[in-house]
Structure 1
Amino acid sequence: MNQSLLTSSSSTDLLANRYQLKELIGSGGMGKVFLANDILLGGIPVAVKFLTQTVIDAKIEQDFAREALMSAALSQKSIHIVRAYDYGVNEKGKPYYVMEYLCGKSLKDLIPLPLSMFLTLSRQICLGLQCAHQGISIDGKICPLVHRDIKPANILVIPDPILGQLVKILDFGIARFVNYASTSSTSRGFHGTLPYCSPEQLDGEKLDSRSDIYSLGVMMFEMLTGIKPWQPETDYFGAWYKAHHFEQPKAIADVKPTLKLPQKLNNLIMACLSKKPSDRPQNIAQILQVLNSLEHSNFPSLPKTLASPFSLRCPLDSGLPITVKESYQQLLWPPNKPAQEIVFPQLIDTRQGFMAALWLMLPKQEIKNYALSTLHNQFIFITSPHPMLLWVTVLYNRQLAPKWLPCYLDMQNPQNLRMVSFLAENEHYPLIFFTLEAPHSCSNLLSSRIEPAQRQMLKTWVQQIYTLPPTSQPQLSKQLLKQQYKQVQSRIWRHLESEPELVFSGSM
């Protein structure tokens, strides 16, 4: 396949009479990915992946359809597997499938990772794998899925308002089709990514979940150290076959002596790299048990920023009224709000006037983790088809995943209009933290500054509302803002990472 896939799709030519290809956004061993607009759904962006194989007969086309259907069904079960929407074969015999379009970063561009982020991302990867290995029901039969190509390039990390960073596993179910289609046609060469293949995969044996566990072990080693457990002299099949079958992996302590790794995490990774499947963890649940125990323990090798207690004192330049600083710990979680990880805007009476604030509930440890963060905010407003404001706040710390806090405000709601009016009047707004653990007490306060230009825009938008006719399509506007939000997240993330030095702000 070449660039003609794109050039042949003119403004009048649609793939499957539905998808308008826009630009090439990625390529790899299994095919090429294009950004496209789904014309049937109003032009929303999607990703279309064309596979390298050509469908040469009805049997291969049938097998591709089955794999694509299984992949689509699986993606409905787990948020950690990229969602597949559609599939087909174009006029040149190239099979393709349509996925959700996500703005994020490949895991291969993020490694090596700090230990805290490693634990967060590894756990999410395992949850996605566990869902696949448990299988999906096809015609009343449970069909387990093995990925066959677990590697950093097939893991996408995207910003998420709750998790900070959300893992999405790519190409589930498609690897088996690529292997099958190649060996069923004239090409009988090996297909896979050699540094991550299990010994049994290199031998062409029937694979089960333990093969993915081996690949996961290679990837976890690389996530922590930045290199692979083996470094053969060449990248040829024979060199990697010898490494996976006969050579012991390097020791993490030798590769990265400064990394103070908990012994049971080291043992887990080494067990995943065992040559014999019977010597590895037998399922993902066993791996999750170790990762969960590490996340909930206070072992000394965690970064000090995670373990140190946070201060409740307000800096003099926080910009918040003194009454907020003195009395915020007496605030109570609203009885009409669920006790779960949520964020919402709320007006507070400072006795010096009302002030817009963000109230959020998080686990105690997470509140401590984000006590020293750079705060960033941005506002997006659309008037059509319904006036709606997106208020985004980001807690950013280089040691941690960013915490995204989006709020969608229907600007025809008088209470929300009042909220934004007060937001525009004050240079700062507080973030008020409540503990997820009972008794859900208020435990911390941060201050976020609004740039003068942003405040002026908020004032202009509030005035503009009074000139707009009433409408009744808030959900449609919210969906449009969600699409913009994905693009904004990527830009904000790049901006924050490009800052030469981050100054911690507003810990109260």
Structure 2
Amino acid sequence: MAYDPNYGRLLANRYQLIELVGKGAMGRVYRAEDTLLGGVTVAVKFLSGALLNKKMRERFEREATICALLGEKSIHVVRVRDYGVDEDDIPFYVMEFLEGESLSDLLRKQSLPLPRFVNMVRQISLGLQAAHKGIKFQNEICPIIHRDIKPSNILVLQDPSLGELVKILDFGIAKLIQSSSNQTHSFMGTLAYCSPEQMEGKELDSRSDIYSLGVVMYEMLTNEMPIVPETHSFGGWYQAHHHVEPSPFDPSLKIPSSLSALIVKCLAKAPSDRPQSAAEILDILEPLEKSFSKNRSRRWDSGKDDRTFVDAGPTIDDLCGKTKWPSDKPRQKIVFPRLIRTKEAVFATLWTMLGKQDIENRLVSTRYNQFLFLTSPHPMVLWITVLHNQEYGPRWLPCYLDLKTSAGQRMARILGESGSYRILFFALEDPKRCQNVLKSTIDPTQCKMLIKWADDSQGMRVTASPQISKNVLKKEFERLKPKILMRLEAVYTTGSATDLSGG
């Protein structure tokens, strides 16, 4: 095995490169540790120096920033956490590190059964929808077109709270490279999945991604390509995408007519004949998914190749909605954590009492969470939750977890293991029953750290009272507030709720 000089390298005084985990025409990806966050695992991608020139630095920064904001807007897009240019002028960006399987690897084993197919395509479409609607950047809405939708750019992983989770990789990077001046006469993309207009070198819009998704959908159901060229050259694929009609579906697959019609429409040669947005695809998928999941839960049995359904009782949101304000808590504006136990599991919740109008103002909001840990003088976690509405501003909901208590350790572990929590709202005017419930997801790296903190704290010595640690964390919280607020204002889009998590 050849020696890699990057092994052990400390990038940007922060990221310790551990091992190469992937490489391709666009660059190399390394598993790394973020030394600033106590060794959190991240992925660092170096863009190939052959594709970029010095004039790309400002463009790379803009594109990487937009893609980072997109990753905060949708859980179906791999998050970009940081970006920069190393000492050799090679751009890199830092992503969340996810252990999953690419869709291309999955399809080598089998085509997908209909329920699983619908669930996965819905998630891909949600990611595309978020990108195509655009990100607010420097007071401008910037739509993002992927330009390279294909199975190898789609990651499938198991999420502890959501079941099977699908994420799209490399958003915006294809455009970044394609726009480089030294690539003017080059073609960027993957021939088998390119729209006709992309092969012509035209300016692209969201309908180009929809064409590529149509190719992917056909492949997911059949393990075959819908269009096969005479030769696998650029010219062969150009002719195929422009003039060859998709092969009809095998009747034995028993694909619903609405689904087969959708895929054929996505593969239309003219953009005007395709679905005009990802929302149109979602509208067609919705009744199909309901028919598969009616009166059933939507959780995967990871030990089976196919999807397993089980009868579902009351959901955790149903149970939260029936809770009453504890008799031992004052009826005032406070925030506190509490576990809710069911027959199947224990769930983490955050309870808050606010004015009724204040609650209504936060139901459409950007949700953000972050966890800060102080080891000394007393192991303590500050659990930060923020609800931000562009019109009404932020509502900060901080609370503390004492990790020298069994209750604090238990809460930290459950938060880390489940990857989410519910926020329960009680109105000052009518505290008898929970008014509303919102779900907030936690970044995977923070989940791992919560579990680690709970484990490490057991052996830590206490040298002072818990209040001293709380005071230190409170000062750090006040210092972080402006940065968190800037981030929330950057990603907020009117009328849509976004779920963010600090890493």
- Deviation of residue 38 (structure 1)? 1.3
- Deviation of residue 161 (structure 1)? 2.1
Please name the residue that 2:431 is paired with: none
Please name the residue that 1:190 is paired with: 187
Q: Tell me the alpha carbon deviations over residues 341-392 of structure 1, each in whole angstroms, 9 at most, x when there is no partner.
A: xx96639xxxxxxxx862579xxxxxxxxxxxxxxxxxxxxxx88999xxxx
In the alignment, the residues of structure 2 paired with residue 278 and residue 286 of structure 1 have an alpha-carbon distance, to the nearest angstrom, of: 13
- Where 1:103 maps in the other structure, the secondary structure is coil
Please name the residue that 1:215 is paired with: 212
In the alignment, the residues of structure 2 paired with residue 84 and residue 416 of structure 1 have an alpha-carbon distance, to the nearest angstrom, of: 31
In the alignment, the residues of structure 1 paired with residue 136 and residue 410 of structure 2 have an alpha-carbon distance, to the nearest angstrom, of: 50
Please name the residue that 2:75 is paired with: 79
Please name the residue that 1:202 is paired with: 199
What do you get for the CA RMSD once the two structures are aligned?
Answer: 4.4
Please name the residue that 2:253 is paired with: 259
Q: Tell me the alpha carbon deviations over residues 237-289 of structure 1, each in whole angstroms, 9 at most, x when there is no partner.
A: 1111111000001112x3xx432111101100000000000000011111110
Q: Is the 8 A contact 2:178 2:184 kept in 1?
A: no
1:288 aligns with 2:282: yes
Q: Is the 8 A contact 1:135 1:143 kept in 2?
A: yes
In the alignment, the residues of structure 2 paired with residue 155 and residue 120 of structure 1 have an alpha-carbon distance, to the nearest angstrom, of: 14
Gaps of 5+ in 2: 297-305, 314-318, 327-337, 349-374, 381-400, 412-453, 474-503
Q: Tell me the alpha carbon deviations over residues 466-505 of structure 1, each in whole angstroms, 9 at most, x when there is no partner.
A: 997599689x9xxxxxxxxxxxxxxxxxxxxxxxxxxxxx
What is the letter of the counterpart of residue 71 of structure 1?
Answer: C
Q: Is the 8 A contact 1:54 1:93 kept in 2?
A: no
Distance 1:179 1:57, change over 3 A: closer
Q: Is the 8 A contact 1:196 1:219 kept in 2?
A: yes
In the alignment, the residues of structure 2 paired with residue 61 and residue 467 of structure 1 have an alpha-carbon distance, to the nearest angstrom, of: 45
- Deviation of residue 290 (structure 1)? 0.4
Percent identical residues: 50
Q: Tell me the alpha carbon deviations over residues 289-339 of structure 1, each in whole angstroms, 9 at most, x when there is no partner.
A: 001121113599x9xx98988599xxxxxxxxxxxxxxxxxx99962599x
Please name the residue that 1:29 is paired with: 25
- Deviation of residue 109 (structure 1)? 1.6
Please name the residue that 2:5 is paired with: 7
- Where 1:165 maps in the other structure, the secondary structure is strand
- Deviation of residue 105 (structure 1)? 1.0
Q: Is the 8 A contact 2:7 2:19 kept in 1?
A: no
- Runs of 4 or more above 3 Å deviation: 53-58, 305-312, 331-334, 343-347, 384-388, 409-419, 464-474
1:164-175 alignment, distance < 5 Å: 164-175=163-174
- Deviation of residue 29 (structure 1)? 2.7
What is the letter of the counterpart of residue 358 of structure 1?
Answer: A
In the alignment, the residues of structure 2 paired with residue 35 and residue 307 of structure 1 have an alpha-carbon distance, to the nearest angstrom, of: 33
Distance 1:337 1:126, change over 3 A: farther
In the alignment, the residues of structure 1 paired with residue 211 and residue 79 of structure 2 have an alpha-carbon distance, to the nearest angstrom, of: 25
What is the letter of the counterpart of residue 335 of structure 1?
Answer: T
Please name the residue that 1:403 is paired with: none
Q: 2:323 aligns with which of 335, 341, 344?
A: 335
Please name the residue that 2:273 is paired with: 279
Q: Tell me the alpha carbon deviations over residues 3-23 of structure 1, each in whole angstroms, 9 at most, x when there is no partner.
A: 77x41454xx42112211110
Please name the residue that 2:141 is paired with: 142
- Where 1:110 maps in the other structure, the secondary structure is helix
Q: Tell me the alpha carbon deviations over residues 399-430 of structure 1, each in whole angstroms, 9 at most, x when there is no partner.
A: xxxxxxxxxx98754568999xxxxxxxxxxx
Q: Is the 8 A contact 1:199 1:241 kept in 2?
A: yes
- Where 2:218 maps in the other structure, the secondary structure is helix
1:358 aligns with 2:307: no
In the alignment, the residues of structure 1 paired with residue 40 and residue 98 of structure 2 have an alpha-carbon distance, to the nearest angstrom, of: 12
What is the letter of the counterpart of residue 5 of structure 2?
Answer: T
What is the letter of the counterpart of residue 188 of structure 2?
Answer: H
1:96 aligns with 2:77: no
In the alignment, the residues of structure 2 paired with residue 418 and residue 159 of structure 1 have an alpha-carbon distance, to the nearest angstrom, of: 23
What is the letter of the counterpart of residue 31 of structure 2?
Answer: L
Distance 1:263 1:412, change over 3 A: same
What is the letter of the counterpart of residue 48 of structure 1?
Answer: V
Please name the residue that 2:417 is paired with: none
- Where 1:214 maps in the other structure, the secondary structure is helix
Q: Tell me the alpha carbon deviations over residues 204-230 of structure 1, each in whole angstroms, 9 at most, x when there is no partner.
A: 001000000000000011111112112
1:426-445 alignment, distance < 5 Å: none
In the alignment, the residues of structure 2 paired with residue 146 and residue 466 of structure 1 have an alpha-carbon distance, to the nearest angstrom, of: 50
Distance 1:47 1:3, change over 3 A: farther
TM-score between both structures, scaled by the size of structure 2: 0.61
1:232-271 alignment, distance < 5 Å: 232-252=229-249, 254=250, 257-271=251-265
Gaps of 5+ in 1: 313-330, 348-355, 362-383, 389-408, 420-460, 477-508
Q: Is the 8 A contact 2:112 2:220 kept in 1?
A: yes
In the alignment, the residues of structure 2 paired with residue 418 and residue 275 of structure 1 have an alpha-carbon distance, to the nearest angstrom, of: 56
Please name the residue that 2:13 is paired with: 17
Please name the residue that 1:163 is paired with: 162
Q: Is the 8 A contact 1:55 1:93 kept in 2?
A: no
Please name the residue that 2:428 is paired with: none
Q: Is the 8 A contact 1:387 1:465 kept in 2?
A: no
Distance 1:170 1:413, change over 3 A: same
In the alignment, the residues of structure 2 paired with residue 465 and residue 87 of structure 1 have an alpha-carbon distance, to the nearest angstrom, of: 36
